[in-house]
Amino acid sequence: MTTHEVGDGRSYVVADAIETLQDYQGEAAAVFLDDAWARPKRYGHFGVEYDTHPFDDDQDAEGYVDTSITTTEVLDACYDALMDGGWLIADADDWLLPRLITYLQEEWGTLQRLTAVVAIERLAG
């Protein structure tokens, strides 16, 4: 775990999400999940290998490295850690986004959401 102090008693923590979020029950103003947090369809994609897991218990886990957790368990840990009015900011690809939105609507109820696309194009030269 790596903790970066950002001032006024606030910190940015880089660590195992489920384990770390247990320490913030109802206290986190925001939870940021980066692009590797839930890539159940991308093991080895882009030449990067890391532990991956199924979206939920119903998804076929064949070929996955780590079946001890699911993406929905990470989301549940985020929900428990967030304070009322807190923000979940999750990097999601085109495979994950519809599943993420459906899960949040079904499990978290009425909520506000904003989706955005970020693309960087780099020109040679």
**Chain segment 30-49, per-residue pLDDT in tens:** 998 875 555 555 555 555 55
Domain assignment of residue 114, yes or no: no
Task: For residues 82-86, give the mean pLDDT.
Answer: 92
Task: Give buried/exposed letters for 90-105 (b at 16+ CB in 10 A, else e).
Answer: bebeeebeebbeebbe
Phi first, then psi: give them for residue 2, nearest 5 degrees: -125, 130
Tell me if 93 is assigned to some domain: yes
Distance (Å, whole) CA 58 – CA 56: 5
Indicate whether 115 belongs to any domain. Answer: no
**What is the predicted pLDDT for the residue at 119?**
65
Would 88 be classed as within a structural domain? yes
In the chain, the number of structural domains is 1
pLDDT at position 83, please? 94
In a domain, 118, yes or no: no
Q: Is residue 13 part of a domain?
A: yes
Is the Cβ–Cβ distance between 14 and 31 less than 8 Å? Answer: no
* pLDDT at residue 75 in the model: 93
Q: Is residue 122 part of a domain?
A: no
Residue 65: which pLDDT band, with cuts at 50, 70 and 90?
Answer: low
Q: Residue 91: name the closest of 83, 80, 100 by CA.
A: 100
Query: 104 is in which domain, residue-wise?
Result: 2-108
Q: Which residue has the higher pLDDT, 78 or 94?
A: 78
Asked if residue 120 is part of any domain, the answer here is: no
In this structure, what token pair is assigned to residue 35? 């692009």
pTM value > 0.85? no
Per-chain mean pLDDT for the chain: 79
Task: List all residues 6 or more positions away from 66 whose beta carbon is below 8 Å from its beta carbon.
Answer: 51, 52, 53
Q: Is residue 90 predicted with pLDDT exceeding 70? A: yes
